[in-house]
Amino acid sequence: MFAKIYFCNKGIELVQFARILRRFQNKVPEDFKFKESPTVIYTRSPTIGQRIFNYKQTIDSIKSNEWKSENFSCNCNDSKFVDSFHKHVITGDLRIIANKKLRNLLLKGPSYREPVNINWNRVLKEFKSGIEECQIKWTQLENKDLKTLDDWSNTIFDAIKKRVNKLKQIKRFKPRQRVKVLDRNDVKIYLENFQKDFVFVPTDKASNNISIVCKKFYIKTLLKEVGFFDTDRKQDRTYQEIKQTSEEILCSHETENQSFEVNIDKEQFQLPILLWIPKMHKNPSKQRFIAASHSCTTKNVSSLIGKCLKLIQKAHQVYCERIKNYSGYNLFWIVDNSLGVHKLLKQCDTKANNVATYDFSTLYTSIPHNKLKIQISWVIEKAFKGMNKKYIKINKFCARWSNKKEVKGNVKFVDSDTLIKMITWLIDNTYVRIGDKVFRQVIGIPMEQIVLLF
Ligand SMILES: [Zn+2]
């Protein structure tokens, strides 16, 4: 069992909640299956990055009819921070922020959280709701009446109140008056004005740096990537503008997911947005485009496929090892990390004279869909045949081979045909949204889901 407490200020940790829970473990009813004290989980307040990054709002608010042509005007030329190649502001130099308080805060990096005054009333409030939620979930799990844990929850909360009263007496824990920088009026007004012209984004390969980009240049670059300004050669582009609205696509995704017996969670009813972050380590700086798909209608199908493909890769690996053992030829050249390379080099009979590494800039994004579908079907069918199994059995954490289909709980069974159908569907249903327009990715597939926090 878990007790989730929102970490509203440092007062929370001074209470030493886990200790109080352990002290009153004897208040948990005898007939409960889970008698252990709940594990404490603190949920955190937003980081300054979550509060100042405004690329999502920027992308959401793009109105395509305001972008008939690539031409636009901005004030970048007058700025000291203009990028000499792109002729617009793209900078990590925070001196561009005139407001000193805000600048000093941003220097601490996007994952920083501003300290908050201790407010004992809020501390009590958070514990109260955390304990209440825990009581509801725990009694549900035990299939017992909510009241059966009243004695436990009241005792715990009384102990917290006592502890807080004691802590209140200690001088160094007395609240000081301090306003968060991001809550100060002058900072708010400055930031709001600044964000009219500029976008705050994370920086590629430097997650602790904040980049600041001219907003109009940011939008134009995004629309250019999907060929929005290109009217004549739309056929051979990675993205194709489509006529359906997001709502229509989301609706058909719902029915199509049902046919795979896959549910879509409520918060997943959205299409991924396409965004970009600057690669400041390149000169001139380049862009990394990302489909932010951490929560969207294809997420559950794609995670299911991911688990299956891992198992299928393993099957091919085992098969190739067998071939290697009797023929001496290694046919499997996929490594998870550098350890595999070290091991291989050590086995070499002769010393390697040259070692070189290569980075592909357009590996996943240039594979034609029809070829991809044919090849992936071959890989899947061969694995099922080789393993001599009918199904892949998938639970919350992993996938296994199976021949018996027993329907129970959250376990899913997928056969070779269904898996191929799901992958075909996923390849055909890779959409990104930019403002009020939807684009379909018609060549290649997006890289592994990159999780970015908004
Ligand atoms: Zn500009």
pLDDT tens column, 101-125: 999 999 999 999 998 888 999 999 9
Residues 323 and 344: beta-carbon distance below 8 Å: no
Q: What angle separates helix 120-142 from helix 150-169, to the nearest 10 degrees? A: 160
Compute, in angstroms, the gap from residue 72 CA to the centroid of ligand 1.
9
Cα 361 to ligand 1 centroid, rounded to whole Å: 27
Percent with pLDDT over 90 in the chain: 72
Distance 446 CA to ligand 1 centre (A): 29
Among 226, 222, 220, smallest CA distance to 76 is for 220
Cβ atoms of 89 and 82 closer than 8 Å: yes
DSSP state of 430: -
Return the bridge partners of 287, or none. 278
Instruction: State the distance from the centre of ligand 1 to the C-alpha of 444, rounded, in angstroms.
Output: 31
- Ligand 1 centroid to residue 229 C-alpha, Å: 18
Q: In this structure, are residues 124 and 6 in contact, taking their beta carbons and an 8 Å threshold?
A: no
Tokens of 381: 């069918």
Query: How far away, in angstroms, is 296 Cα from ligand 1 center?
Result: 32
Map tokens 């002729």 to a residue: 87
Phi, psi dihedrals of residue 297, rounded to the nearest 5°: -65, -20
pLDDT tens per residue, range 344-358: 788 777 777 787 888
Strands (E), 187-300: 198-203, 206-214, 239-241, 273-279, 286-292
Cα of 325 from ligand 1 centre, angstroms: 61
pLDDT band at residue 375 using 50, 70 and 90 as cut-offs: very high
Cα separation, 343 vs 322, whole angstroms: 18
Question: Can you give the pLDDT at residue 234?
Answer: 57
For ligand 1, the distance from its centroid to the CA atom of residue 194, given in whole angstroms, is: 13
Integer Cα distance of 213 and 201 in angstroms: 8
How confident is the model over 233-288, as pLDDT tens digits? 656 678 889 989 999 999 999 999 999 999 999 999 999 999 999 999 999 999 99
Break the chain into its structural domains and give their ranges.
Answer: 2-46+115-173, 55-113+181-292, 299-428
Mean local confidence (pLDDT), 61-84: 92
What are the Cα distances from residue 58, in Å, to 61, 63, 290, 314, 358?
A: 5, 10, 15, 42, 35
pTM for the model stands at 0.81
CA-to-CA distance for 430 and 168, rounded, in angstroms?
A: 55
Distance 71 CA to ligand 1 centre (A): 11
Instruction: Provide the percentage of residues in the chain whose pLDDT is more than 70.
Output: 95
β-partners of residue 415 are: 391
**CA angle 115–120–124, rounded 5-degree value:** 115
C-alpha closest to that of 198 among 79, 284, 289, 281: 79
Q: Is the dihedral of CA 378, 384, 387, 392 positive or negative?
A: positive
Least confident of 108-122, 183-197, 363-377: 363-377
Task: Of 36-45, 88-97, 229-238, 333-342, give the lowest mean pLDDT range.
Answer: 229-238
How much is the mean pLDDT over the chain? 90
193: which residues sit within 8 A by CB, 6+ positions away?
none
**Dist. CA 442 → ligand 1 center (Å):** 31
How confident is the model over 408-421, as pLDDT tens digits?
A: 777 899 999 999 99
Alpha-carbon torsion 280, 108, 17, 4, what sign? negative
- Residue with structure tokens 């220097």? 107
Place of tokens 């995704």: 253
Check if the beta carbon of residue 228 is closer than 8 Å to that of residue 437: yes
Token pair belonging to 194: 């600044």
Q: Which of 450, 452, 449, 445 is closest to 239 using CA atoms?
A: 445
Tell how far the Cα of 216 is from the centroid of ligand 1, in angstroms: 6
Whether omega for the bond prior to residue 284 falls within 30 degrees of 0, making it cis, is: yes
User: What separation in Å is there between the alpha carbon of 81 and the centre of ligand 1?
Assistant: 10
